[in-house]
Amino acid sequence: MKKTKVLLIFLFLALSVLPASAALDVYGLQAEALAGDVKAQFKLGLIYETGEEGYVDPYESAKWYEMAVAQGLREAQLNLGRMYSAGAGVSQDYEKAAELFLLAAEQEQAEAQTNLAVFYLKGEGVEQSLPDALKWFRRGAENGNVVAQFNLARMLEKGEVVPKDLAQALKLYIRAAEQGHLQAQVAAGDMLFSGEGVPQDFVAAAKWYRLAANRGESRAQQQLGDIYYQGEGVGQDFVAAAKWYRMAAAQGETYAQYIIGVMYAEGEGLPQNYAQAVFWYRKAADKGLVEAEASLALMYRQGRGVKQSDKQALFWFEKAAKQGESTAQFNLADHYYRGLGVLPDMVKCYTWLLLAVEGGNPEAAQVLPKVKETLTSIEVSMASVQAKKYRKAYRK
């Protein structure tokens, strides 16, 4: 089963808060704030921003945060920076947001360090700088910020700016995953599943995938389905595999949709049902998955779960063939050879046989010389030109 990785960068925009007091006295807080009490200034900013006790006024919030910022309170610097980043209560201003994040970051405010790192990564409010992004992600990670840990791990995994360090990347993913970071759980599972640069551990991979899958993460559900389907780290269990694949397929995971089709067609973990197989093959084929296109073509050709149609089989074989699927190329050649859903055309037949042979299809290799004997040298040249065109298209 195949596995994909997803690069995700998160901007931490959660509110920074101070410990809650027993009861709110807004007028008393205002008096204290005007007298210069920085905690009262910050508390008022928070009250007006979050709507605590019914007071909602982002402009008032920004005013009180500004007062606290003037006194150097890092939590106020973070929250006001977030407001400038979002354009809430103030005009959106990434440069101002970056300045405020920097002030808080220099006071070791982990969320601000993380936000500043993202700004450097994206070039928002500051000149784009991957070294600076790395620096602040590292500082944020050291201060325990889970988002910084995840993004630092991603940079170490990809070898961006810093030398690739897969072992350290996995440690950081696991640290973030243990704190509940969803994408870190998936990333830890990915590394352990593939064993790229770290010891392969299907049991541990299944653990992290399961945590993410139980929270509704569709690709983790698909990967967990793969583990049960293959019996890697767990006993092979087609019923369990079908459960997780169905959950992922329902959320639109293309490969899971295809595999559910396979399981219905083969009766693996699900009652054999060709109509359902066709339904799920079509879902994946409509999104361009080559295996699904080829499988759907075969269902039409054999009339399983759908009314037999050589024309529809030809249509789907051609789509898969143009993506370089060698079995589909061989079957498409057979359609042109026998005139199934199309007029016989030996030049096109030979074209697709050439490509199928290049793709390693043994049946095509056996048939190719016999078909060539029926063609003129000019027709062979025409087929070679067409094959070159198709080859170039799907090897882009």
> What is the end-to-end Cα distance of the chain in Å, rounded?
23
Q: What was the pLDDT predicted at 395?
A: 78
Report the distance separating Cα 158 and Cα 146, nearest Å. Answer: 19
Give 32-42 pLDDT, tens digit per residue. Answer: 999 999 999 99
Tell me the pLDDT band of 23, cut-offs 50, 70 and 90: low
Q: What was the pLDDT predicted at 370?
A: 96
Whether 73 and 93 have beta carbons less than 8 Å apart is answered as no
pLDDT tops 60 at residue 11:
no
Dihedral sign computed on CA atoms, order 97, 98, 101, 103? negative
- Polymer length of the chain: 396
Q: What was the pLDDT predicted at 90?
A: 95
Q: What was the pLDDT predicted at 160?
A: 85
pLDDT tops 60 at residue 245:
yes
Give 291-330 pLDDT, tens digit per residue. Answer: 999 999 999 999 999 999 999 999 999 999 999 999 999 9
Q: Which two tokens stand for residue 38?
A: 């920085």
Higher pLDDT, residue 263 or 54: 263
Give 204-233 pLDDT, tens digit per residue. Answer: 999 999 999 999 999 999 999 999 999 998
Over residues 14-35, the mean pLDDT reads 73
Name which of 271, 280, 270, 276 is nearest 248 in CA terms.
280
Q: What was the pLDDT predicted at 15?
A: 57
Give the Cβ contact number of residue 83 at 10 Å. 24
pLDDT tops 60 at residue 21:
no
Q: What was the pLDDT predicted at 14?
A: 54
- Which domains, ranges and CATH numbers included, belong to the chain? 201-277 (1.25.40.10)
Rounded mean pLDDT of the chain? 93
Residue-by-residue DSSP string for 306-338: S---HHHHHHHHHHHHTTT-HHHHHHHHHHHHH
pLDDT tops 50 at residue 10:
no
Report the distance separating Cα 152 and Cα 5, nearest Å. Answer: 16
174, containing H or E segment:
helix 166-178
Report the distance separating Cα 354 and Cα 351, nearest Å. Answer: 5
pLDDT tops 70 at residue 382:
yes
Q: What was the pLDDT predicted at 13?
A: 53
pLDDT tops 90 at residue 12:
no
Q: What was the pLDDT predicted at 291?
A: 98
**Model pTM score:** 0.83
Q: What was the pLDDT predicted at 6?
A: 33
pLDDT tops 50 at residue 2:
no
Give 88-125 pLDDT, tens digit per residue. Answer: 999 999 999 999 999 999 999 999 999 999 999 999 99
Q: Which two tokens stand for residue 97?
A: 């947001």
Name which of 330, 305, 308 is nearest 317 in CA terms.
330
Q: What was the pLDDT predicted at 4?
A: 37
Q: What was the pLDDT predicted at 52?
A: 75
